[in-house]
Structure 1
Amino acid sequence: MHSALSGLGLTSPVLAAPMAGGGSTPALVIAAAKAGGFGFVAAGYKTPAALAEQIGQVRAAGVLFGVNLFAPNPVPVDRQAYREYADLLRAEADRYGVDVSDVEATEDDDHWQDKIDLLLAEPVPVVSFTFGLPEEATVAALRAAGTLVVQTVTSAEEARAAADRGVDLLAVQASAAGGHSGTLTPDRIPPEIPLPQLLGEVGAAVRLPLIAAGGIATPTAVGAALAAGADAVSVGTVLLRSDESGASAPHRDALADTRRRCTVITRAFTGRPARGLRNEFTDRYTAEAPAGYPALHHLTSPIRKAAAAAGDPERINLWAGTGYHNAAAEPATRILTGLTRRLWL
């Protein structure tokens, strides 16, 4: 394990990926640390106050942890395309008595500066960024506060740009990953490059320690990623059915549903490329959805919340990586330690 990670006192190279929107919980982050790695409090979509509260819960447990932030990299939506998409979704909204006709196109930055201010005022061990690159001064300030800085990248080009900003580590995310792609060019669908190949390309481009992510759900996949040059791996989907997961009941059930055979990359829910289980919503709207993040996220949010409350898996974002069928309903520590069982044979 690279010194940047070994200095943290890890006994396992398997980390719990941040899953914004509910999947990550303080309990899951704590469980990851107890398994010898660590997890991330997912700051995405949270208010600064809610983020501070979750950080406090994890800090009180006395464990190693990180915080993951969405760095601003907006995809402004075309207003005409937005209105047409909102009109198209009216039937789905009507199904639950939800009105999206007056949801204006929202182009917010997820409380970016307030969250950075919080992490500088009360430093945490690790901060990771996805969606965009933080400014060089932000990276320097966090490092000066004693925080290890991680950047999510999806290509060698992005890796070089991140290295130029002064980050400590890279989370190398392949397209097999569930949920949003961390691509820095979200107006385009990232190419489907196998994780070992992507690790090789990034490793040849920069001299930074690498955390592998994307479709890792078995001990064999963990070993392959480490053999391909990763210093650690990050897993998310395989934890979504764990006891500590915050995933909704219909999401958990869909991951266990053997009739669901594939995942798809879609902009239909948020206007940004993300991988999830195929359902009626992705079938109907993937081809219709315009690029536009976070505007589409805010537009579809009321529909998704109503569908989840009704137990309807066909109208929620069932984020899942390609290894989703390995997700099991058991304690997270058991899942995480099981993923390392072949490493020391």
Structure 2
Amino acid sequence: MTVLDTPAWRPRTDAAPLLPDPEPYRLLGTPDAARLDAALLRSLYGQLVRGRRYNQQATALTKQGRLAVYPSSTGQEAGEIAAALALRPQDWLFPSYRDTLAVVARGVDPVEALTLLRGDWHTGYDPRACRVAPLSTPLATQLPHAVGLAHAARLRGDDVAALAMVGDGGTSEGDFHEALNFAAVWQAPVVFLVQNNGFAISVPLAKQTAAPTLAHKAVGYGMPGRLVDGNDAAAMHEVLTAAMDRARSGGGPTLVEAVTYRIDAHTNADDATRYREDDEVAAWRTHDPVTLMECELTARGLLDDALRTGAADDAEAMAADLRERMHATPVLDPMDLFAHVYAEPTPQLREQRAQLQAELEAEHRS
């Protein structure tokens, strides 16, 4: 027996079953859509309309000075909604900074979801209470955290799985590769959702990777890769739900690439016209997730005035409440800068706290 005949070098899995489909998986507008539950379609529609209005209102708040910055997910609502709906109450969501809609769809108060982007706190909600990790502004750093939590939950015997969200730009970070490798080797109950919206700020995907798709990257780590139409809410819901079920049952991680598009600029501080053409944006508007769902509902005779009006009224009520509460000036304590940083404050932190306290007291006396 030669060295190359020994089993240590051999691949652990056959690559063929791990490969994604050659084209993004779709359901809406196809014959397979006939098997979809009508109640699910109505629910997805209502969530999409609400999500679109949430993005519009949050974007308006930046123009009014109530948010420091807002990374809009307009055009990506299908993936955001599906990610939240694929979770059970005990599961965990690990969002990126663009995923506030997924956080809201998970049940977090919209004002609390936007607190980080307002600049008030590092996070505005209790992660343990809602099973949502803090919004991650550094690219991909939340992915190893998701794997660690999922792996720890399995070791403890807890019935918990994690879903980690990242953009196409995040797949160029080392944290992405480390997380996928760790998850696959340990078969951690975690699903990675890559929302490929075409650009990492101004850098198009073609300048980031030469892989056939981002879903193909899964094969190198030994996990399945799924390529999905990210604007098809029904397809996204089906694929993510199946991936989460697989993770929970011990099947290991899955990498899901949602092919979508960032209709708005990277943030309100970005000028997207400098690096992409208006015609490209217009073409993607014809593949809008809300429109796709409306067409499916109409074709099946499910989109009546009651559903349309009810969804619009619910969305407007949410926007009005968000607008009213975000216009209230928050009462902030500068000393909160030093709270919740370390369980036991470091000497440097105590020194800085004392310095700020002295400056505030001096200012008050003057």
Coarse TM-score class (shorter-chain normalised): 0.3 to 0.5
TM-score (ref. length: structure 1) = 0.33
The structure with the largest helix share of the pair is 2
- Structure with greater Cα Rg: 2
TM-score (ref. length: structure 2) = 0.31
The structure with the largest strand share of the pair is 1
